[in-house]
Amino acid sequence: MSERIFLEDVGKPYSSSPIGDARLWEVLDFRKDSSIPPLIYVVESEIGQNFLLGREISGRPKFNMIRYIAKAFVELFFEKLSGKKLSQYLILRSACPFDLQYSFGSGPPYDIHLLPTGFIKLQKHLNKDKTDWEIEGTGFIGEYQGDSWLIPETAIASGSTVAFFLRNAFRHHLPKQVYLFTACGSVEGIQRIHRECLGTGVELIPVFSQCMFEVSKTGNLPNLPLADLPVSNPGSITTRKFYEKAVRRYQGTRMCSVGDVTGSLEDPFQYSIRTLWEMQILGMDPQKEDWDGWTIDVREEKFRKGVADFNPGLHDYFRGIWAIKKID
């Protein structure tokens, strides 16, 4: 088995945020692979770490975490982007909490003028072989404009949605560069997106948060290919310190670091049940989990009944949850 590679082995610290709560790493010519953009950035921050270690978090708290990650990104890139003709594109619904509009409002000219923003509605479904995602465009509001495009995408696994958007958007307007910001993204997804840029001469600059993930070819949950992003995957690249944190948090398993982000925001109840299901599949020990840290009160009778209705075997696996009184 080859030795695991860490961010310290392939990157170098590039800059820090004004108050030192986030650090930017620069990765040049990763793997010396032409299918990967020659310049990649990784933002290291406490909020980025908490997001990737927080499968128990859902709803408003998770939404706020993503907003703070966006703020850290803008603080590190505002000066670099100053003076460029910017345009942001949000792929709905997953990109909503990652909207850069608020964070850009701290400095001119966006303290007065809004950051130009386009909104894209896409739908995806599994192909017939259930090996990849197929994308359909259903609507666009805005204009294709600007020299530098900003695409904030909370999670990028296969990269199919962003690639589909760029393939169609480039027919209307070609920017000079595309900054792709992600709170949880894979190298494989970036490769797919980069292919759309290579043929047009557009520069793709990916900006990861905390980890450059290797996407799992098969998901932990049934019928979800190219979906899981575990820190423990052999090809995932992060700092040594954060890797050790993730191994402890997820008990050495290949637990996906985010799960279904949109589901976690819009339906915390069902998301939490499916998180338990993934924990069961991976054999995680319920006694080692801090149940008081969950956004959903997992000890409530309503939740217990929801788990039992979803899967009686899952209820039996976690039956100890309902035998422990919550600490106030």
**Within 10 Å of residue 91's Cβ, how many Cβ atoms?**
21
Q: Percent of the chain having pLDDT more than 90?
A: 84
Q: What is the mean predicted confidence (pLDDT) over 6-15?
A: 96
Q: What is the mean predicted confidence (pLDDT) over 102-110?
A: 92
Average pLDDT, the chain: 93
**Does position 228 have pLDDT exceeding 50, yes or no?**
yes
pLDDT digits (tens, 9 = 90+) for 158-168: 999 999 999 99
Least Cα distance to 85 among 52, 56, 48, 115 occurs for: 115
* pLDDT computed for residue 18 by the predictor: 74
pLDDT digits (tens, 9 = 90+) for 267-302: 999 999 999 999 999 999 999 999 999 999 999 999
Q: What are phi and psi of 124, to 5 degrees?
A: -130, 150
Better-scored residue on pLDDT, 326 or 54: 54
Confidence of residue 308 (pLDDT cuts 50, 70, 90): very high
Confidence of residue 134 (pLDDT cuts 50, 70, 90): confident
**Does position 328 have pLDDT exceeding 70, yes or no?**
no
Q: Which residue has the tokens 């909207």?
A: 99
* H helix or E strand, kind and range, residue 44: strand 39-45
Q: What is the mean predicted confidence (pLDDT) over 68-72?
A: 95
* pLDDT computed for residue 326 by the predictor: 52
**Does position 131 have pLDDT exceeding 80, yes or no?**
no
- Exposed, middle or buried by CB within 10 Å (0-12, 13-18, 19+), for 180? buried
177-186 and 133-141 beta bridge pairing = unpaired
**Does position 195 have pLDDT exceeding 80, yes or no?**
yes
8 A C-beta contact, residue 259 and residue 55: yes
* Domain segments of the chain as ranges: 7-248, 260-323
**Does position 1 have pLDDT exceeding 80, yes or no?**
no
- Exposed, middle or buried by CB within 10 Å (0-12, 13-18, 19+), for 211? buried
- Exposed, middle or buried by CB within 10 Å (0-12, 13-18, 19+), for 158? buried
Q: Measured on CA atoms in the order 315, 231, 97, 37, is the torsion positive or negative?
A: negative
* pLDDT computed for residue 226 by the predictor: 63
Confidence of residue 13 (pLDDT cuts 50, 70, 90): very high
* pLDDT computed for residue 74 by the predictor: 94
* pLDDT computed for residue 107 by the predictor: 86
Confidence of residue 99 (pLDDT cuts 50, 70, 90): very high
Fold of the domain spanning 7-248: Rossmann fold (3.40.50)
**Does position 139 have pLDDT exceeding 80, yes or no?**
yes
